Amino acid sequence: MPRLRNKESNESLKKFCLAHYYYDGNGGLYYNKDTPYAVSSIGKKYFDKPLPLTSQVMTTPTGATYEYLTCDVKINGKQHKLLRSRVIWLLVHGDWPTGNVLHVDGNSRNCYHGNLVEVSPRIMHVYTRLVCDLDKNKIASRVASKREITRGTRYTYGINCPVVTNKDGERQYDFKRIMIPKSANSKEIVERVYDGHMDYIVYTMYDKLNGINLERYHVSKTRHGKIMREYRKRFGDSV
């Protein structure tokens, strides 16, 4: 399902949703009694009671499944399937979110506006990719493979590794390429790359994604537990 963005091409959808739906401030979504658009005789019962929760199962970048609540909209004969969380965000804020909308408590069926938070798509893309790659066996296999392919060269492999630095009191996330010399100890390189991944993950949770339940992005309960232990060791609190 394509994610809606705040662009001119979505103005018709924006106008439709703002006029057609009503949000009660407590998580309930209704048809607006004053909508200028047609509502079927069956649909009119949703003037007074919340629209039923319809969902679609999707897959996150980590491979985990995730259930999204959706709204079906038909404009000028064209059918659109919108994320319910994004529709409620529009009704509350008056505009489409420009990033990803996450559910703070991790429950995608809870679309109460206070449970919704907007997050940079790039942050989530990098975050989920590094969580997926937080595996020493996977890193070691990649290093070994590149060593074999580039045997005989001075540097056998360049690997991108996130480095967390402080600039004027604010953390910066830089991705630097580590060039592995022919004589380098593979175990040390694997540990360095792994630590770089973990640094980015836990600092991003603290600085950018604070308070959000991110378990579904952690591939498995084992991975989630490992990340949370490291997080609590560094910051002494929970998310």
Q: Model confidence over 45-96: pLDDT tens digits?
A: 999 999 999 888 877 655 667 788 999 888 877 888 899 999 999 999 999 9
Domain count, the chain: 2
Residue 79 lies in a domain: yes
Q: How far is residue 53's CA from residue 4's CA, in Å, rounded to a whole number?
A: 20
User: Is the domain of 133 the same as that of 113?
Assistant: no
CATH code assigned at 72: 3.90.75
Per-residue model confidence as pLDDT tens digits over 200-222: 999 999 999 999 999 988 888 89
Q: Is the pLDDT of residue 32 over 80?
A: yes
Long-range pairs, 58-61, Cβ under 8 A, ≥24: 58/1, 60/128, 60/216, 60/217, 61/124, 61/125, 61/128, 61/129, 61/132, 61/217
- In this prediction, residue 2 carries a pLDDT of 46
- Predicted TM-score (pTM) of the model is 0.85
The two three-digit tokens of residue 176, written as one number: 């630097």
Question: Does 36 share its domain with 101?
Answer: yes
**The two structure tokens encoding residue 224:** 């989630």
Q: Are residues 54 and 81 in the same domain?
A: yes
C-alpha distances (whole Å) from 116 to each of 20, 89, 125, 196 are 21, 8, 18, 29
By three-state DSSP, how is residue 7 classified?
Answer: coil
- Is 161 inside a domain boundary? yes
Q: Which tokens go with 238? A: 């929970």
- 216 with 131, same domain: the answer is yes
70 strand-pairing partners: 54, 83
Strands 116-119 and 54-59 turn out to be unpaired
Range of 19's domain? Answer: 8-119
Q: Are residues 15 and 115 in the same domain?
A: yes
What's the whole-number average pLDDT of the chain?
88
Q: Are residues 168 and 229 in the same domain?
A: yes
- 132 and 52, same structural domain? no
Q: Which of 87, 104, 119 is the last residue of a domain?
A: 119
Q: What pLDDT score was predicted for residue 158?
A: 80
Q: Does 230 lie in the same domain as 127?
A: yes
Query: In this structure, what token pair is assigned to residue 38?
Result: 């047609």
